[in-house]
Every structure is written in C-alpha cells, then in structure tokens.
Structure 1
C-alpha cells in the first residue's frame, strides 16, 4: 500500500510538472474579435490578443506583430474567436488593376462539392441554350471559356440554396461574363492546382 501511494504521488507530481511546463510555453497571439468580410481592411477594433499553448504546426500572427496586420485586407472571411494566421491577410487588393468583379449565382446542383476559396482559379464556360449554336463556332468545337479567380463565395441562400460567387476576371472579359450570367448560359469550372 505504501509503495502504491508513493507511486500515485509521483505520477501526480509528474502530471503537474507537465501541466506547468505547458502553461509556461504559452504564446501571445492575435485573435479575431469581430466578423470581417473578405477584402475588408482590418482595424484595431477587429483584432485582440490571447495567450495560448500553441502547437508548432499551427501558424498564428504573434501579438507583437498586431500593428503590422492593421491596415491589411482579409484574404478570407474571418470569424470571432479564431486565431489570425499570416495567410489570412494580404496587402494586395483582391480585385487588381485591369480586372472586374463578376457575381455569379450558382444553383445547388452547380456548386462544386469542393469548397470555393478566395484565390482559386476557375474557368467561366459559355454553355449555349440547347439548340442554339454559338456565333462563329462549329457545332462540334469546344465551348468558349474565360479565365477567372474566386474572390468570395457566399453561403447557400435559405430556401433556394443559391450560392453567389464573386469572380475577378479581366476588364475585357467582364462584360462578356456578365452577359453570359444574365442569359443563364455561364457555368463555373474549378481549374486544377497551378491553373492547368
């Protein structure tokens, strides 16, 4: 009994030591305290600080760097209570010079199972209405496509399930893509990694 008691005391002491060791390795990091939309410029009121025990595989902005984050744009949608990762902010405008933003509504059966994320490359594909041939296109030729990049994807709208995807495309292609959207002949295809 004495040996067992001594063993339990030793094990308890080791557990306390491990816990104290973990507490001693806490890191001050930047947190998100308010909802921030994609492309929104971050302010000091959007961010906070927290002391956490951080795994080495988790990338978070150090609290000392908070001032360097303020003024940058959110590259993804940010939610309160989450840690801020360096990859979630950018100095670049999400829609660059020479580009236009085209909103595309996708029905539930047109939304890829893979979540659409900002920065993903896509192809905007013109799919003519059945029986309608594209001008200057042979009947058996490939459909016309335009390159684009996802800027933001909304959640599914209640009732309809429609997802609106903001796609950045060149200023030359923007009006064409908008016309395809209006005619209901545009489809969005995810490009392979690397844009191939």
Structure 2
C-alpha cells in the first residue's frame, strides 16, 4: 500500500497562507525472515541429549549402593563372632574394597575373628576364619605378665615367643650349674589382653605344642616363667 498525503492551504490570522500536511496510512516495515540453519538446530539437540544422558549416568552411579556387613561391637582375636556383633549398612562401595555382602551375614556368624574387629568398620572376608587359632596338636597356655614383664613391643596374634624358665630366688645353681642355659619352650601369641585396671597385669594366651603345654603351665604356677620375643624370622 503506498503512502498518501493530503495538502490543504489555510490562512493564518494575518492572511498569509499556511500549508498543512495530513498523513495517510503508512505501510508497516518489511521484516525479513531469518534463514534457518538445520545443522545448528541438529547440533543443539544433540548437545541437549548428551547432557541429559550424562546427568542420568551420574545419578545412577551416585544412587547405586550396596548392602554390606559392619562391625557394631568390639570382637577380640580368636573370639567367636555372634549376630549381635554385626550389623548392616548401605554404602556406595568401591570395587577395590573387599567387604562381606549383607546377604552373606549368616555365613560369618559362628566363625572366629582372625584380627581384632572394631565398631564402625566394614567386615572383610579375611577378617574371620572358621579354623581355631589353636592348631591341632597344640595347647593354649594363659600367662599373666606384670607391668615390668610386658615387652614395650606390642604383642600381636601370630607373634612367635620363647617361654623361659627362670629359677626362683634361692634356687639358682652355683658353680658350673649356673652356666647351664635355662629351659625354654617355643610358642605363638594367640591373644593379648589390655592391661588390667589397678594392677596393670596383661594376660597373654600362648599356643605351645601339646608336650610343652603342661611344662609351661607348671612354670606359670610357680611364678618362674618369663616371656621373650623371638626374632622376626622365628629363629
């Protein structure tokens, strides 16, 4: 539609003619349509889809949890594990972490703790054993050690020791007999208790051969036994 104008002449108060312009209809400005680019649209849709897939994968990974067995009470080495010692928890478990699954809890109840179990920790399969810590052909000898007899090195299960017979005061030999090496019995630490309140006495369970067990027990009863740590290689 073309633009139209109407011209009229009017007179001013002083008689001078004036021109008045009246505007007619004006055509709207032409707006050119943007050129669509199918490649850009396709790329945008692909990025949106990829972002959504990434978020979905992340949510799945975060939400994937595994039910495992946990320790809820202190369990000493060699002690039989009961159902009350254990619990369950749902955690995001790293594949490198070895833990007993929740549905296998019954399989560990009744076994013995191969190491000391602490509350709040996950239970690993290697931390329990169905075997007794006292092997066939061995005997367990409990030995009470006074504070001055307890080694500064911590006594741990499996540590090899020597049980030494020390004659009571007044019974030591004289002359050549004093040069005789003391009797010893080889043993292995099965469990060591904490120091008893007040006395500081530590009780150590030592496994010995069935033949040496009664001998070591007699030394303990007479108060003539001392515990010595063996070398690291057991010699």
Deviates more, 1:118-127 or 1:46-55: 46-55
With the length of structure 2 as denominator, give the TM-score of the two structures.
0.63
Residue in structure 1 matched with residue 133 of structure 2 by the alignment:
94
Residue in structure 2 matched with residue 43 of structure 1 by the alignment:
82
User: Would you say 1:78 and 2:117 are equivalent positions?
Assistant: yes
Give the alignment's Cα RMSD to 1 decimal.
2.9
Deviates more, 1:55-64 or 1:67-76: 55-64
Q: Secondary structure at the match of 2:180?
A: coil
Separation (CA, whole Å) in 1 of partners of 2:98 and 2:231: 26
Separation (CA, whole Å) in 1 of partners of 2:171 and 2:94: 57
Structure 2 vs 1, CA of residues 130 and 90 (structure 1 numbering), >3 Å: closer, same or farther? same
Residue in structure 2 matched with residue 142 of structure 1 by the alignment:
181
- Higher relative CO (Cα under 8 Å, sequence separation at least 6) belongs to 1
With the length of structure 1 as denominator, give the TM-score of the two structures.
0.74
The 5 Å alignment of 1:127-138 reads 127-133=166-172, 138=177
Q: Which has the larger radius of gyration?
A: 2
Structure 2 counterpart of 1:61, from 97, 100, 104: 100
Q: Secondary structure at the match of 2:74?
A: coil
For residues 85-122 of structure 1, what are the alpha-carbon distances to aligned partners after superposition, in whole Å with 9 as ceiling and x for unaligned?
Answer: 33321111122232222111111111112221222211
Q: How far off is 1:35 after superposition?
A: 3.4
How many residue pairs match? The answer is: 176
